[in-house]
Amino acid sequence: MSNKDESKVWCEFVCVKQSSIATSEVGNFDGAFATKDFKEGELIERGVMRRLPMGFDGHKCEEVFTWSDERPNKTWAMGSGCAPYYNTTSKEKENTHMVRYFDENRFEIFAKRDIKAGDELFHTYISLEWRECFAGIDKIVNNKD
């Protein structure tokens, strides 16, 4: 059985380096990149989540994931692998999609379209429009005044 099949955390073909959208204006930050071509629908990465203690305020922490369908959300989690380093963009431009299995505390990320080796990976954060720490990037990504 290959590492891809048996490991709960698999991100063999993703790397993290300086983001392609980092500029002197928005700052210097990292992003996740494909290291091989992916076909539309192909699994890019899978991993696990670890829930943070109740009371943790994800509105003030950019690095954690929304981990419920409840709104307002009260459950936040930290993710494995390269997932925490994917930057965000609009729904039209995202090239990946994260499937969240809340009950199993795990996730999978799939290619939304064909992706070339070297492309930066983006997904639309589900909290982009309502999370306090993302207010600035929601304006940039969705062209809000």
| Positions in the binding site for ligand SAM (CB under 6 A) | 19, 21, 26, 29-31, 62-63, 84-85, 87-89, 133, 137, 140-141
Distance CA 60, CA 40 (A): 34
Nearer to ligand SAM, 43 or 133 (CB): 133
Single out the residue of 8, 26, 35 nearest to residue 104, CA to CA: 8
Please state the closest distance from residue 80 (CB atom) to ligand SAM, in A. Answer: 13
Q: For residue 30, give Cα distances in angstroms to 5, 44, 84, 131.
A: 28, 18, 10, 20
Single out the residue of 144, 101, 141 nearest to residue 122, CA to CA: 141
Six-digit token pair at 140? Answer: 């940039």
Please state the closest distance from residue 103 (CB atom) to ligand SAM, in A. Answer: 23
Nearer to ligand SAM, 30 or 37 (CB): 30
Give residue 29's identity as a one-letter amino acid code.
Answer: F
Nearer to ligand SAM, 62 or 69 (CB): 62
Please state the closest distance from residue 105 (CB atom) to ligand SAM, in A. Answer: 18
Give residue 43's identity as a one-letter amino acid code.
Answer: L
Nearer to ligand SAM, 111 or 127 (CB): 127
Please state the closest distance from residue 6 (CB atom) to ligand SAM, in A. Answer: 27
